[in-house]
Amino acid sequence: MADLVVKDLDDLAADLSELISQFEGALDLENDDSKIWGQHNANLSMGDFADNWTVHRDDMVKDMKKLRDKVKKVDEAWAEADRQLLETFEEKK
């Protein structure tokens, strides 16, 4: 029977944290391009897009935070199970 190997969950959680910070930091850049589009209606359209994107970005950030938290819990649970299994083997020696 093959060994079950779980690795890189901590890396995945760290990557998700980095993505979350990038998405949250994107709000600072949202209005950098305002009024560069020339026509008034183009500026309004781009503003509407930015506002709409903010709502969707916020939803994605919430979902990424939930996923990151679940990954961390799985990683912690796996490490604890692995520790307990090791203790069991050491007791039987």
DSSP state for residue 39 in the 8-state scheme: S
Q: What is the pLDDT of residues 27-59, one digit of tens each?
A: 665 555 555 656 777 777 777 777 778 888 889
What per-residue confidence (pLDDT) applies to 28?
62
Contact between 92 and 65 under an 8 Å Cβ cutoff? The reply is no
> Per-domain residue ranges for the chain?
9-91
Per-residue pLDDT reduced to its tens digit, 72-86: 999 999 889 989 999
Please tell me the predicted confidence (pLDDT) of residue 1.
46
Tell me, yes or no, if the pTM score tops 0.75.
Answer: no
Banded model confidence at residue 20, pLDDT cuts 50, 70, 90: very high
Q: What is the pLDDT of residue 37?
A: 59
Q: How many H helices and E strands in the chain?
A: 2, 0
Q: Is the pLDDT of residue 67 over 60?
A: yes
92 three-state secondary structure: coil
Residues 6+ away with beta carbon under 8 Å from 60: 23
Confidence at residue 92, expressed as pLDDT on a 0 to 100 scale: 74
Question: What value does the mean pLDDT of the chain take?
Answer: 81
